[in-house]
Amino acid sequence: MADDLITMVTTDHRELKRLFDMMKSDRSSRPLALPLAVAMLEAHSEAEEDRIYPVVAKEAGEKAEVEHAAEEHHEAESQGKHLLEMDWESEEFDRALEEWIGAVEHHIEEEENDVLPALREAVDSDRLRELGLQFAARRARKLVGEPLKAAEGGARQGGGQAEQGGTEGMTRAELYDKAKDLGVEGRSSMTKDELAQEVGKAEG
């Protein structure tokens, strides 16, 4: 089914690969294709970590695999943002792009070979459809500018929360990184709200 979670995730993967192939074969496509690929990857990754990985860890028992996948997400997001700051016509960009594409495609292969099959075995088709709808909604919120709204909210509050170590307005990826710095265990299987709660406890 089109709204099946696994179908949605693999469709995203195919679209990312299409953008990768476009950038490798047609340099002139890069100014348009790269920001699109970076934004799509970030929204896809955050939706997976917020809505899918906790289920995979708890219901499929794949905590170690989920932890590894989350780490790969954050590394790929960092690489993608760095590419956006580079001269897309330079040789340095070519090398960095090839490295980034290789990392993302490696992650996609592991996810489709390990994470998604484990999820399919652990839950029934109705649950996969429910997760698919949650994944799509979370991804859409990210793509239409949730971080911008959060940033605007922080500005209206005078930026005091950042100084106080607050978690309101932070994305799941940001909360994950903070939890990692604070040594919070089991962070890869937590939802965004659970991460915020644990980070608050650790900081308090």
List pLDDT tens digits, range 138-153.
898 887 764 433 333 3
Rounded CA separation 194/190 (Å): 6
Question: How many whole angstroms separate alpha carbon 53 and alpha carbon 65?
Answer: 9
Residue, of 20 and 145, whose pLDDT is higher: 20
pLDDT at 33 over 90: yes
Alpha-carbon distance of 33 to 36, in angstroms, equals 5
Residue 159 has pLDDT above 60, yes or no: no
Instruction: Identify the pLDDT of residue 148.
Output: 37
Q: Are 63 and 130 in contact (CB under 8 A)?
A: no
Answer left, alpha or beta for residue 185, where phi above 0 means left and psi between -120 and 50 means alpha: beta
Question: Quick check: 55 and 151 in contact, CB under 8 A?
Answer: no
Nearest to 52 by CA among 102, 109, 122: 122
pLDDT band at 166 (very low <50, low <70, confident <90, very high): low
Specify the residue for token string 């990692």. Answer: 180
Please say if the pLDDT value at position 21 is more than 90.
yes
Nearest 5°: the CA angle 71, 103, 11 is 90
The pLDDT tens digits of the residues spanning 94-115 come to 999 999 999 999 999 999 998 8
> Helix-strand-coil percent breakdown of the chain, rounded to 5?
85, 0, 15
185, 188, 194, 195: CA torsion to nearest 10: 80
Q: What is the pLDDT of residue 189?
A: 66
Question: Under a CB-based contact definition with an 8 Å cutoff, are residues 179 and 199 in contact?
Answer: yes
The secondary element (H helix, E strand) that includes residue 201 is helix 192-203
pTM for this predicted structure: 0.70
Check residues 69 and 176 and name the one with the higher pLDDT. Answer: 69
Judge whether residue 69 has pLDDT over 70.
yes
Ranked by mean pLDDT, the top range of 49-53, 59-63, 109-113, 176-180 is: 109-113
